[in-house]
């Protein structure tokens, strides 16, 4: 039986990125929509005749749906997630899940108490190429040794009711993706260095970040900027077994399986490589990772991993990423206390 799910929020991001993937996932049945804005609510009613389109999220939470997908203003994500868990719903909540890691840890405890699954929409870790990286590392008993991520995002835009600086918006809304993925690959983060570079135009944010693994034996560097007309990501991962894994915009993957520094003339030799790229029949919409994160959410609702508690959520990891963002911001904006963000 498909999982009945209700959407809370019918805004631009939900309509353009999440909705097509939700409708394309046969594991879910969209059963209701809640949207506060009258014009947007009317659009939802036009697109889904016969489906309950409500003005109040509480009406959805009081309904018999199994799960909710929350894609509203980020300032309300924590409270809506709390209310959904208290109503006994599984929750998919779009990033960012607020800015306060302590509040997210409280949600994690509540999810365990309610035996509910919570997924957070930091979709980079779910992209097929990134999943192949995880699979390669596991199969070859390897780990990250050196990680280099270069990424350009669109311009930062302010959100009403969310009183954050351009730098804070960039980190919580955009840089959260490479930070979350780097934390995942490093197995956590020990030491952090973050430097803010001047943008070419007002409102542009460019940063260089260095992360050390908890043991100090692996290092990640992230160069991230906003203000681009193109969304571009390039990743180079050197493993503890000497392999080089390159990922191009989450579409193409190349693995060099033997070290190139061999002591030969020029310190190079033939490179044995394995390549992968998403095929033309890839079913995801917008960017790689959206379809896969929804499928993973359905998997965890229906068949929790036998190796973990059935009520484990992604919330502890989300809190770790928010704490990491706070540490970065405390360095580039000295007046900010990481614990207070």
3-state secondary structure of 151: strand
What confidence score (pLDDT) does residue 281 get? 84
CA angle 42, 43, 44 (to 5 degrees): 90
Query: How far, rounded to the nearest angstrom, does the alpha carbon of residue 25 sit from its chain's CA centroid?
Result: 19
CATH of 125-282+321-340, one of 1.10.3720.10, 3.30.360.10, 3.40.630.30, 3.90.1150.10: 3.30.360.10
Q: How far apart are CA 170 and CA 252, in angstroms?
A: 26
Task: Determine contact, residues 129/252, Cβ cutoff 8 Å.
Answer: yes
Number of Cβ within a 10 Å radius of residue 305: 10
What confidence score (pLDDT) does residue 155 get? 87
Which two structure tokens, joined as six digits, stand for 147? 């990680």
Radius of gyration in angstroms for the set of CA atoms belonging to the chain, rounded to a whole number: 21
What does the pLDDT profile of the chain (341 residues) look like in tens digits? 899 999 999 999 999 999 999 999 999 999 999 999 999 999 999 999 999 999 999 999 999 999 999 999 999 999 999 999 999 999 999 999 999 999 999 999 999 999 999 999 999 999 999 999 999 999 999 999 999 999 999 988 777 778 888 899 999 999 999 999 999 999 999 999 999 987 667 778 999 999 999 999 999 999 999 998 888 999 999 999 989 999 999 989 999 887 666 666 666 566 678 899 988 888 889 889 999 999 999 999 987 554 455 444 689 999 999 999 999 999 987 654 444 44
Task: Determine contact, residues 63/31, Cβ cutoff 8 Å.
Answer: yes
What confidence score (pLDDT) does residue 242 get? 87
Task: Determine contact, residues 26/50, Cβ cutoff 8 Å.
Answer: no
What confidence score (pLDDT) does residue 311 get? 47
CA-nearest of 113, 66, 72 to 298 is 66
Task: Determine contact, residues 27/298, Cβ cutoff 8 Å.
Answer: yes
On the question of a cis peptide bond just before residue 240, with omega within 30 degrees of 0, the verdict is no
Domain ranges of the chain: 3-123+291-312, 125-282+321-340
- The DSSP bridge pattern shows strands 28-34 and 53-54 to be parallel
3-state secondary structure of 28: strand
Residue 318 Cα distances to 60, 181, 227, 314, angstroms? 25, 11, 26, 6
Q: 205-223 as b/e, with b when 16 or more CB fall inside 10 Å?
A: bbbebebbbeeeebbbbbb
What confidence score (pLDDT) does residue 230 get? 85
3-123+291-312 CATH fold: Rossmann fold (3.40.50)
What confidence score (pLDDT) does residue 270 get? 63
Number of Cβ within a 10 Å radius of residue 136: 19
């Amino acid at each position: 039986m498909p999982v009945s799910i209700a959407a809370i929020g019918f805004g631009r991001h939900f309509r353009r990125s999440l909705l097509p993937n939700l409708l394309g996932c046969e594991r879910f049945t969209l059963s209701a929509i809640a949207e506060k804005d009258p014009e947007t609510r009317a659009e939802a009613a036009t697109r889904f005749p016969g489906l309950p389109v409500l003005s109040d999220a509480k009406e959805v939470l009081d309904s018999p749906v199994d799960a909710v997908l929350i894609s509203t203003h980020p300032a309300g994500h924590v409270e809506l997630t709390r209310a959904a868990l208290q109503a006994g719903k599984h929750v998919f909540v779009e990033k960012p899940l607020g800015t306060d890691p302590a509040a997210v840890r409280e949600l994690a405890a509540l999810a365990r108490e309610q035996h509910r699954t919570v997924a957070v929409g930091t979709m980079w870790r779910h992209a097929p190429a990134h999943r192949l990286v995880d699979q390669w590392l596991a199969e070859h008993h390897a780990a990250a040794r050196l990680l280099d991520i270069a990424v350009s995002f669109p311009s930062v835009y302010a959100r009403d009711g969310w009183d954050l600086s351009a730098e804070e918006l960039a980190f919580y809304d955009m840089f959260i993706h490479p930070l979350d993925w780097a934390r995942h690959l490093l197995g956590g983060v020990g030491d952090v260095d973050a430097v803010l570079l001047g943008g070419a135009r007002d409102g542009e944010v460019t940063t260089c970040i260095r992360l050390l693994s908890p043991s100090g034996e692996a290092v990640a560097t992230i160069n991230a900027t906003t203000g681009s007309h193109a969304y571009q990501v390039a990743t180079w991962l050197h493993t503890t077994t000497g392999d080089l894994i390159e990922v191009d915009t989450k579409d193409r993957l190349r693995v060099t399986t033997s070290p190139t520094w061999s002591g030969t003339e020029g310190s190079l030799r033939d490179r044995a490589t394995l390549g992968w790229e998403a095929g033309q029949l890839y079913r995801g919409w917008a960017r790689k990772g959206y379809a896969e994160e929804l499928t993973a959410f359905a998997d965890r609702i229906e068949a929790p991993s036998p190796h973990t508690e059935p009520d484990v959520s992604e919330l502890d990891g989300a809190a770790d990423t928010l704490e990491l963002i706070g540490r970065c911001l405390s360095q580039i904006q000295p007046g900010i206390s990481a614990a207070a963000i």
